[in-house]
Structure 1
Amino acid sequence: MRKLRNLAVCITALGLMAIQATAVAYEINPLEDKYKYDGANAKLHWIADAVHEELTLRARACAIATPDSAPEALRCPAAEAAPPGNPHGHKYDSLVRGVWWNDDPNQLLFAFREAKWLAWMKDGNAIAKTGHNLRRVKAKITKDYYMNYRSHYGDLQFLHAMASANDVDPKTTQQNILTWAEFAYSVAIGKIDPELNLGQVESSGFEQFFGHRPGWSVSYLFGPRYVLKDRDHIPNMALGSLLHVVQDSYSEAHAKRVFLESSKCKSGRVLRFNSYVNQAVNRHKATDIHRAWLAQRYGDAQGPVEVSAAIFKLVQSRAQWPAVRDYLEHHVFCLDDDAELSSDGGFGETNLLTKEP
């Protein structure tokens, strides 16, 4: 039994080290502060940067401490250290678990399933780039694939503020993001009950992504394997998922932003949504680590912490969706006439020596 336990720990460590090289978003680390650490678990702490976790903790603290204001006017004071999370670990923080969900909607990064997560990622990458899976069988990622495939290489890439392929109109990706945002926000404020079936969700455009799963409940969508007993668990997970989309949009490999005022966008704008399909994994990953986030400069515009805090406050106040949509559409994901079709953003396999200015 001890040998089997040690083997499981080794497999987990190796799997997570490989996961570090395949992350598609600002990185998460479900092992960082997942439990109170001691012994062997503590040795795995360094495997991936817990960027989303830190952004979320900072945003929540800012939202609680900042007076009410128009969402686009919210500013967070600089803080040297991130505030502490749940004293029992991130595993027991529904908001953080929601932030994890976009990277792991099938909840494989628990209970020694990291190797399966990695296998799916490698398989999805092979299908996206070659049209064949790891078994060398011709394949295409459709809505019938697991959500992990769809969110990284298929039609659900908007969960990372990315386009589903190259040459996609930016308004299409913006609308997909807003469709998900309306659904997630409605769950977060209690307008959509966690036990409602997806076939009964009335959010505009939602059926194009989950209409083939009418019998799934909202609760099952966010927790196909694990849920906490807290009655606010699913609403908080939905909020976390929305924050993940927002935070990813500030990563250079996900979207190209301009933090200057334009005729249609007073708070800066998205110039292009990138697609992960043709990006080189390691080049993408380099923009998603803690160091890359710290190097970002936003001028007078809001950054990911402040936008996340503003959304947190909107949820707290139970603001109506039209006001939230206006903030997201005209401030956070604003597009002007110079918005471009999606591409690999200069992070492709063929762009290893050159990159866009």
Structure 2
Amino acid sequence: MSKAIALKIIAENKEKAERQKNGPVADFAIGFHNIAVHLELEPVHETLTLAALRAGGLTDIPPNMNYYAATPGLWEFFRGVTWNDDPQCALFKDSREYNDELSSGTVWFSQFEAAKHNEASRSKTGYLLGRSHFGDLQFLHSMSSSVGEPAVETRDKVLLWCELMYRTVTGEFPEHCQIGGVEISRGGFDLLRFFDRDTDPRPERNLKFLLTRDTEYQKMQIERRALGSLFHIIQDSYAKGHTRRVEDYSSGYVKLGAIRTFHCYTGQDEEQHSHYDSFKVEDVQISNLDSFNPYPGARSAIEACVRVMELWRNGVMWNDKDGKPGAVHVLEDIFKLAPDVTPGDNTI
């Protein structure tokens, strides 16, 4: 998990950023009412996503574009890539007109802290946020759900989510499709394993509720949000705190290959985890992928997302169709396991 929401805690409180006439301006420091806590954030996932979208052929993104100047259309991708860290959409206000307005953050923070210290809050019947960061849904961040979990099981769950998101991107699973009605499985895992009558959301809820909590935003694009969530799980898989991959230095920078270990967040060094999840976004330029080379995993993460972006733009379906290879093969390759793969651990 990126921990973009918990990179650095400092004692102060701020008002959210004002909306300017020339477009949305975001303040990464999210204030909490009545809580003397302030989060200082780096938009790492958003920056990786911008670079991948531009390299993948989204031509209306200027070479010097950054998070602060993103359009509402780009924010639909951002809301998706943020979802894995904010699956209950608690960090944003729900508005018919805007998709980038930050909330006070109080609900998100209280749920995160509860899940961190209370086992019930991160159990299957607990908060979705707690489950995804500390419980059975850690695979949403390309991490094992427990120390000792076989890597093949973690990979199966990751690919199950990849299939759900990709087939939502292509329109095969429309937003009104019920979670319990999505008949996909991988290695014995299906969606009903994670969403049942005791969970939030329940299986009768639809994909729009799952990804947006039934947002009122008039220009919501479910395919962009799904692609964002898919990008997140890919990007996390190249972060040192999430996985250990085969390293190749022959290109002059570290290129990451097959997965050797999926890490588990429970019991990890949180500060060290956050360190490897971040970089200074002002030091990179989305149109110059070489600028990402100094940051281990960043270039590889972008290139993997570009592969998926190109599949989407070329109309490739998940499964093989009419003799045309499906997207499943690319995702299986992105999450390929190394011959010496080991069970999940909480090292970095």
TM-score range, shorter chain: 0.7 to 0.9
Q: Of 293, 313, 317, which residue of structure 1 is paired with 2:314?
A: 317
**TM alignment of 1:56-135, pairs within 5 A:** 56-64=49-57, 83-84=65-66, 89=71, 93-111=75-93, 112-127=103-118, 131=119
Question: Are positions 1:210 and 2:195 aligned together?
Answer: yes
1:286 — aligned with what? 275
Q: Of 104, 127, 136, which residue of structure 2 is paired with 1:146?
A: 127
Given the superposition, is the C-alpha separation of residues 336 and 219 from structure 1 closer, same or farther in structure 2, using an over 3 Å criterion?
same
For residue 99 of structure 1, what is the amino acid of its counterpart? V
For residue 131 of structure 2, what is the amino acid of its counterpart? R
Q: CA deviation at 1:36?
A: 6.4
Distance 1:192 1:36 in 2: 37
Given the superposition, is the C-alpha separation of residues 224 and 43 from structure 1 closer, same or farther in structure 2, using an over 3 Å criterion?
closer
For residue 110 of structure 1, what is the amino acid of its counterpart? F
1:339 — aligned with what? 341
Q: Of 233, 236, 248, which residue of structure 1 is paired with 2:236?
A: 248
Question: Are positions 1:21 and 2:8 aligned together?
Answer: yes
2:12 — aligned with what? none
For residue 217 of structure 1, what is the amino acid of its counterpart? N
CA contact (8 A) 1:260 1:269 kept: no
Distance 1:200 1:290 in 2: 40
Q: 1:208-255 CA distances to partner (integer Å, 9 max, x unpaired)?
A: 112442210110001115353236x11110111000000011110001
| 5+ long unaligned stretches in structure 2 | 10-15, 31-38, 94-102, 250-254, 282-291, 320-325
CA contact (8 A) 1:101 1:222 kept: yes
Aligned residue pairs, count: 291
Distance 2:174 2:28 in 1: 40
**TM-score normalised by structure 2 residue count:** 0.74
Q: Of 143, 160, 164, which residue of structure 2 is paired with 1:162?
A: 143
Q: Secondary structure at the match of 1:295?
A: coil
Given the superposition, is the C-alpha separation of residues 42 and 84 from structure 1 closer, same or farther in structure 2, using an over 3 Å criterion?
closer
CA contact (8 A) 1:97 1:240 kept: yes
RMSD over aligned Cα atoms: 3.4
Q: Secondary structure at the match of 1:259?
A: strand
Distance 1:86 1:19 in 2: 19
Q: Secondary structure at the match of 1:238?
A: helix
Distance 2:239 2:85 in 1: 15
1:303 — aligned with what? 300
Q: CA deviation at 1:142?
A: 2.4
Percent identity, aligned pairs only, is 27
Distance 2:4 2:157 in 1: 32
CA contact (8 A) 1:141 1:149 kept: yes
Distance 2:4 2:43 in 1: 14
Distance 2:77 2:27 in 1: 23
Given the superposition, is the C-alpha separation of residues 317 and 20 from structure 1 closer, same or farther in structure 2, using an over 3 Å criterion?
same
Given the superposition, is the C-alpha separation of residues 297 and 146 from structure 1 closer, same or farther in structure 2, using an over 3 Å criterion?
closer
Q: CA deviation at 1:156?
A: 0.9
Q: Secondary structure at the match of 1:210?
A: coil
CA contact (8 A) 1:91 1:97 kept: no
For residue 124 of structure 1, what is the amino acid of its counterpart? A
For residue 154 of structure 2, what is the amino acid of its counterpart? T
Given the superposition, is the C-alpha separation of residues 338 and 228 from structure 1 closer, same or farther in structure 2, using an over 3 Å criterion?
same
Q: CA deviation at 1:170?
A: 0.4
1:134 — aligned with what? none
For residue 180 of structure 2, what is the amino acid of its counterpart? G
CA contact (8 A) 2:245 2:259 kept: yes
Q: CA deviation at 1:195?
A: 0.5
Q: CA deviation at 1:280?
A: 2.5
For residue 55 of structure 2, what is the amino acid of its counterpart? C
Q: 1:134-193 CA distances to partner (integer Å, 9 max, x unpaired)?
A: xxxxx3732221211111111111111101111100000000000000110010000001
Point out the structure with the larger helix share: 1
Q: 1:29-51 CA distances to partner (integer Å, 9 max, x unpaired)?
A: xx78987699x976949920000
CA contact (8 A) 2:245 2:256 kept: no
1:326 — aligned with what? 329
Question: Are positions 1:47 and 2:40 aligned together?
Answer: yes
For residue 155 of structure 2, what is the amino acid of its counterpart? Q
Given the superposition, is the C-alpha separation of residues 122 and 294 from structure 1 closer, same or farther in structure 2, using an over 3 Å criterion?
farther
Point out the structure with the larger strand share: 2
1:76 — aligned with what? none
Distance 1:55 1:343 in 2: 26
Distance 2:159 2:57 in 1: 25
CA contact (8 A) 2:259 2:341 kept: yes
Given the superposition, is the C-alpha separation of residues 342 and 91 from structure 1 closer, same or farther in structure 2, using an over 3 Å criterion?
same
CA contact (8 A) 2:264 2:346 kept: yes
